[in-house]
Chains A and B, each alone.
Chain A
Amino acid sequence: MAKVELVHVCKSYNGKEDVIQDLSVSIEPGEFFVLVGPSGCGKSTILRMIAGLEAITSGELLIGGIKVNGMPPSERNLSMVFQNYALYPHLTVEQNITFGLHTKKISKQEQKKRCLEAAEMLGLTDFLKLKPRQLSGGQRQRVALARAIVTHAPICLMDEPLSNLDAKLRSKMRSEIRQLQRRLGITMIYVTHDQVEAMTMADRMMVLNEGRPQQIGAPLEIYNHPSNIFVASFIGAPPMNLAKAKVLESSLLFNSERVMRLHHHLPSSQQQVIVGVRPEHIRLADTGDEYFIAEVVNVEVLGTETLITFELTKTEHWIARWSGQWNVHVGEQVPLFIDETAFIFFHEDGQRLNHPVSSYVASGEERK
């Protein structure tokens, strides 16, 4: 078990611009920690710094309480799974799995034993004598995983390991990796650009954008309480609906076209804000609700749910997500209702507005 801590870590390639800026995070032993962000946000760089494949410009990296900034990768006692698997094409599966074990002073018998163990765990026993090119994508992925677990390293780093697989296999491997991590109790640091992977696998996750950490927390906490509009729009599919609005006494005014009356949870008056609502919180109005009418511009029926794109203002479209199959037509006028507590307010610069009432209500809801 080892804890991984990054303390004020910066990374710069050219000495001028920082690719990673002042990153501090501590990853607990046995935790499944996901780094998620759009491509180019620096998440792979962070992983490679932890692995020792990339030098740290400033700050400290501690593994198990020991500063490892200058330590070569092999001495950090970790394993890594690469995006393209990095299998040795001319070696058999077995040789691939055991290659490198000799450096850890492990006997031939023990190597064999561990290899069989890992192969069994991942269902590779029948393929040990084959070459990687004779395997399917999913099997290659498993070989890469097996190579990571035979080392018995307490920390495993994964760099977008599932991005080369098709959707079906991906969801299968997602749960397999998660189960494997739980069974072995290793610390997993996992990089992905896919927010679904992050949401489903992580104990905790860090959302990154342009080299800066945006928010660190449990997936649901981040989903329910995004700290800024980037996180709000990045996490969740479809993303959170966002629109600029003006607060006028007890109403929200969208682009001088649409007014929504609120009773309690309003930021102070006369303020420009950005309003966010998750699509699942926009529902068809019941009788007695304070509804608003909007025109439907697109309908996607997905079987279990229906996504309805409607016109909030002339230039802005929002999406509502209703569970079940709905027979709504494009061009139809529908009455919609949004619960007041579902509104999340952001400052114009994108930061979440501290709104104690709303956050109190939200956390109360969670407890229910």
Chain B
Amino acid sequence: MNVLRTFLLYALLITCSVVMLFPIVYAFLISFMSGAEVLQGHIWPQEFTTANYVAAFRKVPLLEYLLNSFIVSFLVMLGQLIVSSLAAFAFVFLNFKGRDVLFFLCIATMLIPWEATMIPNFLTVQKLGWLNSYLGLTVPFFALAFGIFLLRQHFKTIPLELYEAAQVSGVSHFRFFWNIVLPLSKTSLITLGIYSFLTTWNMYLWPLLVTNNDRVRTVQIGLKQMQTQEISTEWGVVMAAVIVVILPTLLLLFVGQKHLQKGLMQGAIK
């Protein structure tokens, strides 16, 4: 009975992971195929060719796009970490009137889909003259209700006595925040950092809206560009570019996996 259960469980898990991984593996394999092979529907390339990779970098300014994506993702990550941690600190440690109402209001913004706010946001960014600039790509994402929520939950696990002890010894709010709260919340901060980096890295619609030249465009738009540049898409080249684009994501995920797990589990069982 127990063996059967284990067998079934593993069979299910393996099936799921195959289904999940197939597109990525297939993309990886296609990136080494010549155009004819792709159309023939081969799964395994007859011979591995790197020509697609060379072509990918030649057709669009992929390196530039990658750099743009890095800058934008990094800035958004930084901005979200700063804004969310400061806001969460206020929601946990400072006592002011209407604090909880404000917090719930803040959480309630998670109910509004991002697409609904897109047009007003675009108009704002346009009026500010931030089109085609890093500002337009990053600033609208600095305030993140989810980030505030995540950090608040973690900050709440810090004993209030620590805050009171700091108050008695006359330590300023900011010093307490910087020297005590942040170091104690490392795992949550890393979780949030990875989360926001990845989300921004994968963003497509907004960068498309606020950019119309190559200067600050991000890599996801570059990929789309490749698909439609010519009459018939060269899938090998596109897939080569895709692999290049997901590499940093995968790397970050592997490095941060431990922290991510720890962070998302926190507060779940206490």
List B residues 177-192 near A (Cβ within 8 Å): 179-180, 183-184
Interface flag for B164 (CB, 8 Å): yes
Smallest Cβ distance from A282 to chain B, in angstroms?
A: 45
Query: Is B169 touching A82 in the complex (CB atoms < 8 A)?
Result: no
Interface flag for B170 (CB, 8 Å): yes
With contacts A53-B164, A80-B165 taken as known, whether A86 is within 8 angstroms of B170 at the C-beta atoms is no
Query: Is B167 touching A103 in the complex (CB atoms < 8 A)?
Result: no
Q: Mark A34-64, 1 if CB is under 8 A from B, else 0.
A: 0000000000000000011100000000000
Query: Is A86 touching B162 in the complex (CB atoms < 8 A)?
Result: yes
Query: Is B168 touching A74 in the complex (CB atoms < 8 A)?
Result: yes
Query: Is B184 touching A79 in the complex (CB atoms < 8 A)?
Result: no
Q: Mark A69-82, 1 if CB is under 8 A from B, else 0.
A: 00011110011101
Contacts of B115 in A (CB 8 A): none
Per DSSP, chain B at the interface is helix
Interface size, B (range): 10 to 19
Q: Mark A111-152, 1 if CB is under 8 A from B, else 0.
A: 000000000000000000000000000000000000100010
Interface flag for A104 (CB, 8 Å): yes
Query: Is B161 touching A100 in the complex (CB atoms < 8 A)?
Result: no
Contacts of B166 in A (CB 8 A): 99-100
Q: Mark A247-277, 1 if CB is under 8 A from B, else 0.
A: 0000000000000000000000000000000
Contacts of B172 in A (CB 8 A): 103
Interface flag for B159 (CB, 8 Å): yes
Query: Is A88 touching B164 in the complex (CB atoms < 8 A)?
Result: no
Contacts of B171 in A (CB 8 A): 74, 99-100, 103
Interface flag for A89 (CB, 8 Å): yes
Query: Is A78 touching B168 in the complex (CB atoms < 8 A)?
Result: yes
Interface flag for A333 (CB, 8 Å): no
With contacts A80-B165, A82-B161 taken as known, whether A88 is within 8 angstroms of B180 at the C-beta atoms is yes
Which residue on A lies nearest to B165, using beta carbons? Answer: A86
Which residue on A lies nearest to B161, using beta carbons? Answer: A86
Which residue on B lies nearest to A150, using beta carbons? Answer: B169
Query: Is A51 touching B169 in the complex (CB atoms < 8 A)?
Result: no
Contacts of A53 in B (CB 8 A): 164, 167-168
Most A CB contacts (10 A, CB to CB) among B161, B162, B165, B168 go to: B168
Q: What 6 pairs across the A-B complex have the smallest Cβ distances?
A: A74-B170, A100-B169, A86-B161, A103-B170, A86-B165, A82-B161
Q: Please give 14 more A-B residue pairs, beta carbons under 8 A apart, in addition to A75-B170, A80-B168.
A: A52-B168, A53-B164, A53-B168, A72-B167, A73-B164, A74-B167, A74-B170, A82-B165, A89-B184, A99-B179, A100-B170, A101-B169, A103-B172, A104-B170
